[in-house]
Structure formats: C-alpha cells, structure tokens
C-alpha cells in the first residue's frame, strides 16, 4: 500500500507543470543564470557569501575571523574596481595614512573620511588599468588586522607593471575599518613610478654638496 502511494506521488510530481528547481547551485548553474559581470559562478557565490558574513556578521565566526574576512573582501573589491563596495567596509570618518614621500607622490597625502578616500582611490584607478594583490600573510587580533601584501599596478600610460611590497594595518570600530596605515618600500616605489634609478641622483647630490 505504501509503495503504491509513493509511486503515485512520483508520477504526479513527474507530470506536474511546476518549473524544475536547480539544486546544483553554485556548482552546476545554467549559463543563463550567471550574471553578465561574472565569469565564474563559484567565485561570484563565494564573494557574495563573504560580503554577507563581513557586513552582517555571523555567530559562528569570531571577531578575529570576521575582521580578517572584511579586510580580504575590501581588498578584493578595490582590486576589482568596485570602490563603493570597498568603501562599504569603512566608517564614514575613516582615517588613511601612507608612509610615502608626498613631495614625489602627492596623491598619497593623508586622507580623512569616505569622500576623501574615494577621491584617492579614484585617482589611483585613473592611473592604473589593473590592480592586483597577493596576500602573503594576514593576522587578526580583535579590532586590529595586519596584512603583508605584494601589490601589482599596471600603468595606463605604457602598460608597465609597478610591483610594491607593503604592510597594511587596519583598525576596526564596530565592525568597520576606522583606520588604515600603509608602510611601503618608498625607495623602490619612487624608482618604479619615475622609471629611473634614483641612487645615482642621491649620490650625485651628496657629492655636489660636499
């Protein structure tokens, strides 16, 4: 009797006009369901998942792991050119400071607030067509996250790659980035930006002034 009931139920479901559900998401999604801006449904699903966890929080995650995910999501958004998503991880009064020679790189002057930081990031993206980060090491402890990064910037002018090592320190307040401090190998950075060796110039200046 039970077998007959189950068989009838299967036949009804088979003949039903209800649309079939795709239970294989995200591994086997139909191409038409993939957003036009995405080339990898798994990466898109992972990015959305990280954003939800980073912005909303998760009881199953510690503060350390949440803040670590938030930093990774911010870097991913900035590298993808989505400045508003990157800024969504920051407080309205976010404070940004890069330890770099502002006389040579004036756009790296200290920035205060989202609008000021948006101007900086927009300027950076106007000069570089591609930005990519390699996270060599990242450590989170409460409201502090430290990241050792290898960053790559492709110049729009001539397609040359500027590769920079940096240490970035993020300070969180109520789940958002309130402070960003960058320490860069500014000597190497200036040489790559100017596309010339500055050692002989420095030595020459010293000799001339002796």
φ and ψ at 151, to 5 degrees?
Answer: -110, 145
Q: pTM for the full model?
A: 0.64
Per-residue pLDDT at 37: 32
Q: The dihedral of CA 121, 123, 125, 131: what is its sign?
A: negative
Per-residue pLDDT at 53: 55
What is the mean pLDDT, run by run of 10 residues, along the chain of 210 residues? 49 43 36 34 48 53 93 95 96 92 73 95 90 94 96 88 91 97 77 67 53
Tokens of 55: 């912005």
Per-residue pLDDT at 171: 98
Per-residue pLDDT at 99: 80
Q: The dihedral of CA 98, 99, 102, 104: what is its sign?
A: negative
């Amino acid at each position: 009797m039970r077998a007959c009931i189950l068989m009838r139920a299967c036949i009804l479901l088979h003949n039903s006009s209800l649309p079939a559900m795709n239970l294989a998401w995200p591994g086997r999604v139909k191409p038409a369901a993939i957003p036009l801006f995405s080339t990898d449904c798994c990466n898109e699903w992972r990015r959305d998942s990280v954003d939800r966890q980073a912005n909303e929080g998760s009881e199953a995650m510690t503060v350390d792991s949440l803040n670590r995910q938030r930093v990774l999501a911010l870097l991913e958004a900035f590298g993808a050119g989505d400045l508003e998503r990157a800024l969504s991880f920051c407080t309205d009064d976010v404070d940004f400071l890069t330890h770099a020679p502002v006389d040579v790189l004036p756009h790296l002057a200290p920035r205060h607030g989202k609008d000021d930081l948006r101007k900086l990031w927009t300027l950076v993206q106007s000069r570089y067509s591609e930005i990519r980060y390699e996270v060599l090491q990242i450590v989170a402890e409460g409201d502090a996250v430290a990241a050792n990064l290898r960053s790559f910037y492709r110049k729009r002018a001539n397609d040359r790659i500027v590769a920079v090592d940096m240490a970035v320190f993020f300070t969180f307040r109520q789940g958002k980035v309130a402070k960003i401090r960058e320490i860069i190998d500014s000597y190497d950075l200036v040489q790559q930006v100017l596309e010339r060796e500055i050692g002989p110039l420095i030595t020459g200046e010293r000799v001339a002034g002796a």
